[in-house]
Amino acid sequence: MSRVIHVFRTPDRFVAGTVGEPGDRTFYLQAVDEAKVVSVQMEKEQVAVLAERLSALLDEVVRRLGDAAAAESDELPVDTEPLRTPVEQEFRVGTMGLGWDIESRAIVVELLAVSEQEIDESMVLDDAEEGPDAVRVFLSLEQARAFAVRAVRVISAGRQPCPLCKEPLGPKGHICPRQNGYRRQAEA
């Protein structure tokens, strides 16, 4: 079966979000262009890495091209709306790729589905007929910075860390190794 590549050249929205309660959240990236909505599931760590690498790439664009639009800005509007529902997972992300498109002056994010076949870097940002399904999103510098800011907020909106051991606290607390195995209660 041929692979499906969902391409968003000028997305209305590209965001990270979650479904579920803290401690039991599922992370998604969602690309929206008018009526077309594609949601892919990711691990929390993948979202964190993508935000970190996007920020680093933006910093490099600023450094090399002197593009002030990519610089960090306190006035940058960040999308705080929830994911568009219903969230229907297209696939689980296995491999991610980032690139810079010179012609459109856009950052390209590509998310490839988990695959049993080995993925080498030549498959990322490639339109080959065979391979894992993919989502390819072209982001303006402002959209990329806004994505990174929101992704960090989404990640940090989970369970609060224990002040002693830094492990996440559940609604009923947790067994804290710094308290010799006694339960540390979550603070109200």
Query: Is 80 exceeded by the pLDDT of residue 47?
Result: yes
How far apart CA 111 and CA 92 sit, in angstroms, is 9
Shared domain for 25 and 79, answered yes or no, is: yes
Q: How many alpha carbons fall within 13 Å on the CB side of residue 106?
A: 15
Least confident of 41-50, 66-75, 175-184: 66-75
d(CA 3, CA 138): 19
pLDDT recorded at residue 73: 54
Verify that 55 and 102 share a domain, yes or no.
Answer: yes
Residue-wise pLDDT tens digits, 56-76: 999 888 888 875 555 555 566
Q: Give the C-alpha distances (Å, rounded to integers) separating 140 from 58, 73, 137.
A: 10, 15, 10
Name the domain count of the chain.
Answer: 2
Structural domain range at position 167: 161-188
Q: Are residues 169 and 133 in the same domain?
A: no
Contact 19, 72 (CB under 8 A): no
pLDDT digits (tens, 9 = 90+) for 19-34: 998 878 999 999 999 9
Do residues 63 and 46 make contact, with C-beta atoms less than 8 angstroms apart? no
Is the domain of 166 the same as that of 145?
Answer: no
Confidence of residue 107 (pLDDT cuts 50, 70, 90): very high
